């Protein structure tokens, strides 16, 4: 499978991946500003967009760029999961579910244990194949379950690779994902982490869209 996010999602919580560097520029991050969804994929009804960002990174040595939208919703996580399953069964026009199989099923089970669920879609835009990860989460549950990795995020990027590897192995054994994955915005775990931080004081659930394309 050579699609960017399909491969990333299949590796999520199943096998380690190399850390990718990334940077993001905010399209709008002010809590007072009205923020719209720049991605033509519908959010859960009644969701409020909190932020929309462009980001740039690398996956498997390939440059990747995309957009990230973080929204909040008063719906319960089961309601958001039901919505996600519904749009997966009948995707919006132009979109298709990008990945399936036992490895992805395992990734979904691990994700649900952390208080989130996700789906990977593909679509064409300007002659290029793009991938879209949709994540729904309960940030309170996620931060509780992912606690072992959250305390390492700030220090991890400053460590040499020789020290990152054993940390990744220990964190993955406890949580099912690596610190490197949590730092990657194109991974469902990375998207969930960004949303959890944004939603920390809202007492709401989150819906995240992460669109990406190879440069």
pLDDT at res. 203: 83
> Which parts of the chain register pLDDT below 70?
1-34, 58-61, 100-103, 147-154, 174-177, 180-188, 215
Long-range contacts of 154-159 (CB under 8 A, 24+ apart): 156/180, 156/183, 157/19, 157/183
- Residue 6's pLDDT is 37
According to the model, what pLDDT value does residue 44 have? 97
pTM confidence score: 0.74
pLDDT of residue 10: 33
Note the pLDDT of residue 30: 40
DSSP assignment letter at 42:
P
| d(C-alpha 157, C-alpha 152), whole Å | 9
Structural element, H or E, at residue 209: strand 205-214
Rounded distance, CA 126 to CA 134, Å? Answer: 21
23-28 β-sheet, strand order: 23-28, 48-59, 62-73, 205-214, 128-137, 116-125, 96-97
Domain containing 133: what range?
4-214
Check: CB of residue 108 under 8 Å from CB of residue 57: no
The per-residue pLDDT for 175 is: 63
Confidence at residue 185, expressed as pLDDT on a 0 to 100 scale: 62
If one counts the domains in the chain, the total is 1
Torsion of CA 47, 31, 193, 9, to 10 degrees: 50
Neighbouring C-alpha atoms within 13 Å toward the C-beta of 211: 19
């Amino acid at each position: 499978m050579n699609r960017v996010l399909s491969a990333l999602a299949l590796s999520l919580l199943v096998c380690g991946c190399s850390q990718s560097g990334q940077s993001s520029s905010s399209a709008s991050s002010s809590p007072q500003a009205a923020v719209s969804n720049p991605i033509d994929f519908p959010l859960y009804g009644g969701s409020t967009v909190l932020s929309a960002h462009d980001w740039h990174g690398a996956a498997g040595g390939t440059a990747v760029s995309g957009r990230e939208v973080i929204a909040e919703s008063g719906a319960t996580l089961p309601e958001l999961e039901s919505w996600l399953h519904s749009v997966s069964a009948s995707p919006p026009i132009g979109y298709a579910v990008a990945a399936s199989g036992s490895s992805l099923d395992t990734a979904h089970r691990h994700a649900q244990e952390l208080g989130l669920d996700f789906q990977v879609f593909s679509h064409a835009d300007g002659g290029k194949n793009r991938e879209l990860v949709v994540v729904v989460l309960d940030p309170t549950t996620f931060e509780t379950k992912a606690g072992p990795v959250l305390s390492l995020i700030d220090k991890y990027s400053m460590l040499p690779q020789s020290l990152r590897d054993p940390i990744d192995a220990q964190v993955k054994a406890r949580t099912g994902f690596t610190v490197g994955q949590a730092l990657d915005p194109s991974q469902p775990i990375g998207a969930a982490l960004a949303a959890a931080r944004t939603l920390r004081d809202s007492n709401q659930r989150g819906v995240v869209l992460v669109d990406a394309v190879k440069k």
